[in-house]
Chains A and B, each alone.
Chain A
Amino acid sequence: EVQLVESGGGLIQPGGSLRLSCAASGFTVSRNDVSWVRQAPGKGLEWVSVIDSGAKTKYADSVKGRFTISRDNSKNMVYLQMNSLRAEDTAVYYCARWNDYVRYWGQGSLVTVSS
């Protein structure tokens, strides 16, 4: 059974850093594309970043230069390193298997950027 479980969210001050983790099971991250999608409280969905099976990465303009997506094939994990966090980065962050027609989503991890 395919599952994605996000972790690492929490309360962080503006300007701080946080790393989100996405634990995958039932499939191999190195052979798939995995994206991060976020949703600010009461707002819509925003695609954030993707890492493909070839480890190529892509970012939304809103996070380019501040966020880094990566993966650990040995742990079957995908990460989102978030630096220079701003209040507008406050959101639930979902990871999703992006190839295979976005069939699978995690349940999300809440990141709150506030002093």
Chain B
Amino acid sequence: QAVVTQEPSLTVSPGGTVTLTCGSSTGAVTSGHYPYWFQQKPGQAPRTLIYDTSNKHSWTPARFSGSLLGGEAALTLSGAQPEDEADYYCMLSYSGRSWVFGGGTKLTVL
């Protein structure tokens, strides 16, 4: 089974910009992996922020954006807010019928 890698932790200043990345042990991440990004706060279920690399749900704040960057999926937060402090997980699809989550990035806004 593939391994999906994320930074274990990142810190961003309020109002700052940070990019979280998501890599695959099988090689470059492409749009064919249909990258997803989820946000999870303590004690809560995950919430889907980004799907299919860069698409947002109606509830996804505009300051979040998804992309492919240097063979990885990326989640960029521009203008971080205190409420963005959370765990962020990426997920990749393999062969369209199995999914693998990354280990998660703990984002601190400080």
A interface residues, Cβ below 8 angstroms from B = 35, 37, 44-47, 50, 58, 60-61, 94, 101-103, 105-108
Contact = CB atoms under 8 A, between A and B. Distances in A.
B104 A45 contact: yes
A52 to B, nearest CB: 9
Q: Tell me whether chain B's interface is mostly helix, strand or loop, or mixed.
A: strand
Contact of A45 (B38, B51, B57, B98): B38
A58 B55 contact: no
Interface of B: 1, 36, 38, 40, 45-48, 51-52, 55, 57, 87, 89, 91, 97-104
B46 A94 contact: yes
A101 B55 contact: yes
Contacts of B47: 105
Contacts of B87: 44
Nearest to B99: A47
A58 B98 CA distance: 7
B102 A44 contact: yes
Given A45-B89, A47-B101, A105 B45 contact: yes
A47 B89 CA distance: 12
A44 B97 CA distance: 20
Contacts of B38: 45, 102
A103 B57 contact: yes
Given A101-B51, A101-B57, 11 more contacts: A37-B46, A37-B101, A44-B89, A45-B89, A45-B101, A47-B100, A50-B97, A101-B36, A101-B48, A102-B51, A103-B57
